Amino acid sequence: MTAAGNPWGWFLGYLLLGITGSLAFINGGHIINGEDCNPHSQPWQAALFLEDDFFCGGVLVHPQWVLSAAHCFQNSYTIGLGLHNLEPEQEPGSQMMEASLSIQHPEYNEPSMANDLMLIKLKESVSLSDTVRNISVVSQCPTPGDSCLVSGWGRLASGRLPQVLQCVNISVASEEVCKARYGPVYHPSMFCAGGGQDQKDSCHGDSGGPLICNGSLQGLVSFGQAQCGQPNVPGVYTNLCKFTDWIQTTIQAS
């Protein structure tokens, strides 16, 4: 699996040396304690490939645009849509699209880890179907306790790669909990979810993938701590309610 554009490598050293060592971010994550998604129940789910290697998730938000995490940026991509298994030949109705343009948020990493989103323009619009469909981005910010669904092809708790797309339900954490856990890097462009006693979680292997709350796209998998699925340790998601204007204007201008 290609390790693409992840922010954890250099940031780990900063955290360990510059703060207390209690926070550590690495690229080891995966869907924890989830289950196989119902086939094509997440028709907006995208897979980003670099030279046939899957490396990040994404979300179809417009027939010609995919949203993903800015730290997943590459100079070129193939975007898989309509996939349950990552092998396109096993997925009738899947579409493999080339990207023509990638636009990271202009304030990504200012400050560190903040504003972690980018838009990827496809060379042509996809054909919408039962297996490929875009989803709207929320306009309202998340409410603590909301039940949400996150999906991805990151490694399982066993360390194995899943055969098919994984889904897990997690709850939005309060801003106070998020600040308490990630205070040195917390920013309003982020929110937290998960961290329950059921140890359900997502992490780096699912970067850029969708967190769906109340039928809309609420967040993108951004980062988390070294060991995923720890009780009382939520993961961090890009807070998309803060970026609706940027997403709309960028799509319209490009």
- Return mean pLDDT, the chain: 84
In a domain, 2, yes or no: no
In a domain, 143, yes or no: yes
The pLDDT score that the predictor gives to residue 67 is 98
Do residues 92 and 145 share a domain?
Answer: no
Mean pLDDT by 10 residues, the chain (254 residues): 38 31 36 81 96 93 98 94 90 93 97 97 96 96 95 78 89 94 94 76 79 96 78 89 97 93
Do residues 115 and 166 share a domain?
Answer: no
Report, in this order, helix, strand and coil percent for the chain, each rounded to 5.
15, 30, 50
Q: What is the pTM of this model?
A: 0.87
The pLDDT score that the predictor gives to residue 82 is 97
The pLDDT score that the predictor gives to residue 202 is 73
Amino acid (1-letter code) at residue 54 = F
The pLDDT score that the predictor gives to residue 5 is 46
The pLDDT score that the predictor gives to residue 32 is 57
For residue 47, what are the domain limits? 43-132+242-251
In a domain, 23, yes or no: no
The pLDDT score that the predictor gives to residue 227 is 72
Do residues 191 and 203 share a domain?
Answer: yes
CA–CA distance, 187 with 234 (Å, rounded to integer)? 15
Do residues 247 and 128 share a domain?
Answer: yes
Strand order in the sheet with 35-36: 35-36, 166-171, 147-152, 210-213, 216-223, 235-239, 190-193
Do residues 144 and 228 share a domain?
Answer: yes
The pLDDT score that the predictor gives to residue 30 is 46
Q: Which residues are catalytic?
A: 71, 116, 207
In a domain, 32, yes or no: no
CATH of the domain at 146: 2.40.10.10
Domain count, the chain: 2
